[in-house]
């Protein structure tokens, strides 16, 4: 169960889990993250992913997947922040975590976010694409199409699955 109706998060999870478990059935439902819509900071972003995964879990599914994007303070970066996606995968007992590659938004985007506007809203305005984060994503726009949001999200899902793919050495 993917703890979001965002089509990018669902597709990324289907892509990765489908390779690991070929007969997997991935569903999605809206789940509250319990954190602000625009998480800023490591702890709050990870907590949002964990909250999503735990809030989506039921005995009907083996795993629940929570994905949360957030801005993390990074010294020596141009703006002081990088965007990272965190994935929490929960099985009713244990949670495994993974993170995507991070990227930096333009300074004007960070300025507006720190004024209280969500990254998605700013990037929709910058690109002229409505709901960019549910399509190719800001990372696609900024990387000139070399990486889209689905691929970026697949990274965090795969990283969260590594302990589960190697249970003998992790658990």
Determine the average pLDDT of the residues in 58-85: 97
Q: Please provide residue 71's backbone torsions phi and psi, each rounded to the nearest 5 degrees.
A: -95, 130
Q: Is the pLDDT of residue 134 over 80?
A: no
Q: How confident is the model at residue 128 (pLDDT cuts 50, 70, 90)?
A: confident
Global pTM value: 0.94
Alpha helix positions (H), the chain: 7-20, 42-56, 107-114, 119-127, 137-142, 149-165, 167-170
SS3 label, residue 157: helix
CA distance 98 to 126: 29
Q: What per-residue confidence (pLDDT) applies to 143?
A: 95
By percentage, how much of the chain surpasses pLDDT 70?
Answer: 99
pLDDT value for 135: 74
Condensed to tens digits (0 to 9), the pLDDT of residues 5-22 reads 999 999 999 999 999 999
Q: What is the mean pLDDT of residues 42-61?
A: 97
pLDDT score for 113: 95
Which is it for strands 64-73 and 95-99: parallel, antiparallel or unpaired? unpaired
CA distance 146 to 31: 30
Q: Which of 96, 37, 24 is nearest to 69 (CA)?
A: 37
How many residues make up the chain in this entry? 171
Assess contact for 81 and 110: CB atoms under 8 A. Answer: yes
Q: Is residue 129 scored above 90 in pLDDT?
A: no
Q: Give CA separation, 6 vs 70, 71, 75, 130, in Å.
A: 16, 19, 31, 14
Domains parsed from the chain with CATH numbers: 7-170 (3.90.950.10)
- Mean of pLDDT values over 143-157: 96
* CA–CA distances in Å: residue 124 to residues 110, 136, 162: 14, 12, 34
């Amino acid at each position: 169960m993917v703890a979001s109706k965002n089509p990018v998060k669902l597709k990324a999870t289907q892509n990765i889990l489908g390779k690991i478990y070929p007969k997997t059935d991935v569903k999605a439902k809206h789940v509250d993250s319990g954190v602000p819509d625009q998480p800023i900071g490591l702890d709050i972003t990870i907590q949002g992913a964990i909250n999503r995964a735990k809030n989506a879990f039921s005995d009907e599914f083996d795993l629940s997947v929570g994905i949360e994007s957030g801005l993390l303070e990074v010294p020596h970066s141009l703006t002081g922040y990088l965007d990272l996606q965190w994935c929490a995968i929960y099985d009713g007992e244990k949670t495994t975590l993974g993170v995507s590659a991070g990227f930096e938004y333009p300074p004007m985007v960070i300025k507006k976010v720190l004024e209280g506007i969500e990254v998605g809203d700013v990037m929709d305005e910058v690109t002229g694409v409505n709901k960019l984060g549910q399509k190719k994503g800001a990372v696609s726009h900024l990387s000139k199409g070399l990486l889209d949001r689905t691929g970026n999200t697949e990274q965090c899902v795969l990283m969260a699955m590594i302990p589960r793919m190697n249970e003998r050495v992790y658990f």
